[in-house]
A and B are shown apart, each in its own frame.
Chain A
Amino acid sequence: MFAPERIRIIKGILLDKKHINVSDLSAMLNVSEVTIRRDLEKLEKEKFLTRAHGGAILMDHNHDETEDDSVTTDDPFFEDRLEISEIAFHMIEDGDIILLSDGPTNQCIAKKILSKRNITVLTNDLNIASELSSNASIKVIIPGGDLDSKTMTLAGKLTEENIRRFFVEKAFIEVDGASIQRGYTVQSIEKASLIQEMTKITKESIIVCHHKSFNNIAFSQIGPLGMAGKLITTPRIPDEYKNYLFNNNIQLFTAFNAYEGGI
C-alpha cells in the first residue's frame, strides 16, 4: 500500500473513532508498526492528531475545520494539491520573485516552498502570507484592498492598482474552471479581473488547478487556455485536454507520485 492511501485511511478512522492504536492499524493495513508510527508522526506535524502511548488521538480542532473548505482532510482534492505543489516546488529556484494568487492549491505550494531560501512572494491570500511568515528568509509582500473575511483574501480596485507596481518572474494562478470553449474561469468577477492584472505583471504565467476543474465552467472568464504557457494538474484530466494542450504548444505538467517507496 502507498503512503497517501494509508494516510487517507488513518485519517478516516481517526475522524470516525477519535482514537486508534498502532498495533490495530499495523494489522489492518498490513504494514509494520514502524511504518505506522512514521505515518502518525507525519500527521502529528500536520497537527491532525496527537501521538499517545501506543496510539494516537484526534486533535480537537479537526471537528470544527471539517465544516469549512480550507485544506483539511475532507478536501477531496487534497492529494491533487499536494501533487501539484511537488511540481511547482521544482519550478521555483532560490532567489526567485514569484506571485501566488489566492486558493487552496497555492496554499499547498506555499507550504511546500518553505524550505526555499531568499525568495520573494507577492500574494493576495493572507493564509499564504501567514504560512510563509514562518521562514524569515522568505520575503512576503501583500497588496492592499478589500478583505473577504471568509476566505481571508484581498481583491478589488486597490489590490489591482497595488500589484501594478511590481513585476515577478513566475505567477502561479489558481483557477476554478478550465474548458476548451470558455478557457480559464473563476467564481467571481473581482477575482477574474485581479487575475487578468496579475498576468500582466509576470514574465511567465503558470496555471494550477485540480483535475475536476476540466470541462467545468465557473462564473467569470479570465482568458483562453492559450493565455499561459504552463499548466500543472494531475494525470486524471480528460485525454482531449492533453491533446489540445500539446497541439497548442502549452506545457502540461502532471505529477504521478505513483510509487511512493520507489527509487
Chain B
Amino acid sequence: MIEPVLRLENINKKMSDFFAISNINLELLPGEVHAIVGENGSGKSTLMRIIAGTLPKDSGSIYLNGNPVDINSSNEAKKLGITMTHQEPSLFEHFSVAENVYFDNAPFSRHFLKTVNWSKMNADCRKLLSKLNIHLDSQKLVKDIGNAQRQLIEIAKAYVSNAKIILMDEPTSSFTESEFIILQDIIHELKKSGVSIFYISHRLDEIRQLCDRVTVMRDGEIIGTESICNMETSKLITMMTGLDIKNRYPKLSLKTGKEVLKVFNISAGNTLKDISFSLRRREIIGITGLAGSGKSKIAKVLFGVDRVDSGEIIVDNRLASLRSPLDAIKEGIGYVPEDRQIEGLFMYLKIFENISASSISQFSNKYVIDSHKEKDIATSFVDKLGIMIGTIYDKAENLSGGNQQKVILAKWMTSKSKIFILDEPTRGIDIAAKVDVYNMMNDLVRKGASIIMISSDIDELIGMCDRVMVLYGGKIVASIPQSEATQEKIMYYATSGKHADE
C-alpha cells in the first residue's frame, strides 16, 4: 500500500450561514494528479485554500507524509512544500516575468547579503521558459501580458518552487488549445519528478487526459473518489449535479411578444466569438457557462461597458450604438452586475439615493432634485420589496447581500428599463431573498420587460428561464428550451464544448 503524501481527516469549515464544507476526508498519493470537480460553490476552492494555508480550518487534521501539520499561512505551506496556483493569477503587475517567477526562489549572488543575481535570474528564466515552451520575453512587465500567459507564469512559478504538492485552481479557464498542451507537458514533467497535484477544473475532457483519480464535491461535501478510468462521464455529471431538478422556482408562463433585442455575430477579442441571439418581449433567457466562457462579457457588451470588435446590436428594430452605459440606459437597458458591491451600488450613498441613481432626470428639473418624489418612490419600494432596513436614509453598505440586490433591482425598475441583464442575481444571498428576486423577475416580465439572466446555478436557470443558452470558449454551443433543459444536458455542453448538432 502506498503511503499518501497528504491526508485530510474530517476537515470542517463554515464560511457563512449558507455555505460550509464538512467532513472532508481525502488522500493525495505521490506523483498523482488528482482532479477535484463540482459545480460552482461546491467547496473546491475553499478546500484548496485550507490546504494552502490561506484560510484557517474550523476543525480536522492535515497529515503530511504521515505527520500531523499545522498550516497557518501560505509561507508555512511553502516551507512544507505546498504551493497553489490561483484561478486569478496573483502576480506583481509592475514586475517583470522573471521577477515574478523567481520571487520566492531568487538566485542570490551573495547569500549573506541577499543581493539578487539579476543576470543569472534572467538567464535562468529564459532557459526555463524555452524549456517549458512558453514563448515570452522574461523581462516583459506582467501588466503588459494577457490572462492565459499570466496563468502560465503562475504555473512556471510553482514549477521552480520545488514544491512537492501543487494545488492548481482552474488553471485552464483562460486557455486555448496551445496553452493547454504546454500545461500538459509541464504536468507530465512534474509527475515524473514525483510531485503530486490537486487539479480543479470544470472541463471533463481535460481531466480525462491529465488526471489519475477524480473526487466529486457537492454542497461542501465529498460525494466520492474514483479512478478516472472507472468513471463514465455521465456518471460523473450525475454525481456533480445531484438530484433531478426540483420544481420549486415560481415561473410564470407568459406569452412572449415581438423581438426587443437582436444580437448579430458579435465578437470581442478572444472572449466572444460570433454570438447571435434574440430576446422577445416578456421572455427570460438564461446564459450559463464555465468561468472564462464569456458569459459575463456578454452582459458588459450589452451595457456598453466593453466594446465589440464586430457585429451588430439591434434594440427595438433600430441599430443601437452602445458606447457607454449611458447609451445603454437610454436604450432602456438595465444591468445588475455580478459584483454588486463595487459595480452595482454607491455604498456610501443612502438607500433612496441609490434607488433614484439611474433615473435622476425623472426627479429633477434642470437644476434641482425633487427629493420628496425621490423619497416617496424609495419608501414604496422598500415597503413592497420587503427590504429590511431602519430607514431609507441608511447607507447601502449596511444592507445584507439580499437587500442590496433588491435595491439594485429597484433602481432599474425606477428607471423604467425594458431589458434587464442580471449577472448572477442570486449568488451569495439567502433563500428568502432568492425567492423575492425570482418574483421580482416575474413582476418585470408581467409588465412587459425582458430579462437576460446569467447564472452558474443551473437549477435556477432551468426553473426560471424560457430558454437556456450555453457558452463554451466564447461561443454559444447550445440553446435549449425550458421543456427540454436538464442539468445533465447543460453540464454536458458547458464542459465538453460539443456543438448541439454534433
Contact = CB atoms under 8 A, between A and B. Distances in A.
Nearest to B443: A256
Contact of A242 (B247, B414, B436, B448): B436
Contact of B432 (A1, A2, A242): A242
Interface in B191-209: none
A46 B377 CA distance: 26
B414 A247 contact: no
B449 A263 contact: yes
Interface in B380-433: 380-381, 384-386, 410, 413-414, 416-418, 430-432
B436 A254 contact: yes
B48 interface: no
Contact of A259 (B249, B252, B254, B381): B381
A10 B372 CA distance: 20
Contacts of A230: 250
A172 to B, nearest CB: 15
B417 A2 contact: no
Given A86-B446, A258-B413, A263-B449, A252 B384 contact: no
Give the most central of A87, A249, A254: most B CB within 10 Å: A254
Interface in A242-258: 242-243, 245-258
Give the most central of A91, A245, A258: most B CB within 10 Å: A258
A252 B250 contact: yes
A30 interface: yes
Interface string A224-256: 000001100001100110110111111111111
Nearest to B440: A256
B435 interface: yes
Contacts of B250: 230, 251-254
Contacts of B442: 87, 253
B432 A249 contact: no
Nearest to B435: A242
Given A5-B380, A229-B247, A262 B413 contact: yes
Interface in A114-132: none
A90 interface: yes
Given A242-B431, A251-B248, A251-B249, A263 B447 contact: yes
Nearest to A5: B380
A245 B418 CA distance: 30
Contacts of A86: 446
Task: Give the bracket for the number of chain B residues in contact with chain A.
Answer: 35 or more
Contacts of B432: 239-240, 242-243
Task: Give the bracket for the number of chain A residues in contact with chain B.
Answer: 20 to 34
Interface string B17-34: 000000000000000000
A142 to B, nearest CB: 29
A245 B439 CA distance: 14
Given A258-B413, A262-B413, A253 B439 contact: yes
A258 B435 contact: no
Contacts of A229: 247
A2 B381 CA distance: 10
A80 to B, nearest CB: 12
Nearest to A244: B431
Give the most central of A30, A229, A235, A240: most B CB within 10 Å: A235
A247 B380 contact: no
Interface string A85-97: 0110011000000
B235 interface: no
A248 B435 CA distance: 13
Nearest to A247: B431
Give the most central of B384, B410, B416: most A CB within 10 Å: B384
Contacts of B254: 90
Which 5 A-B pairs have CB atoms at the shortest separation, nearest pair first? Answer: A239-B432, A242-B432, A256-B443, A249-B248, A263-B447
Interface of B: 246-254, 372-373, 376-377, 380-381, 384-386, 410, 413-414, 416-418, 430-432, 434-436, 439-440, 442-444, 446-449
Given A242-B431, A252-B250, 19 more contacts: A1-B376, A1-B380, A87-B252, A230-B250, A239-B432, A240-B432, A245-B248, A246-B434, A247-B431, A251-B249, A253-B442, A254-B436, A255-B439, A256-B385, A258-B413, A258-B440, A259-B380, A259-B413, A263-B444
13 contacts: A235-B385, A242-B432, A250-B248, A253-B250, A254-B435, A255-B443, A256-B384, A257-B384, A259-B377, A259-B414, A263-B413, A263-B444, A263-B447
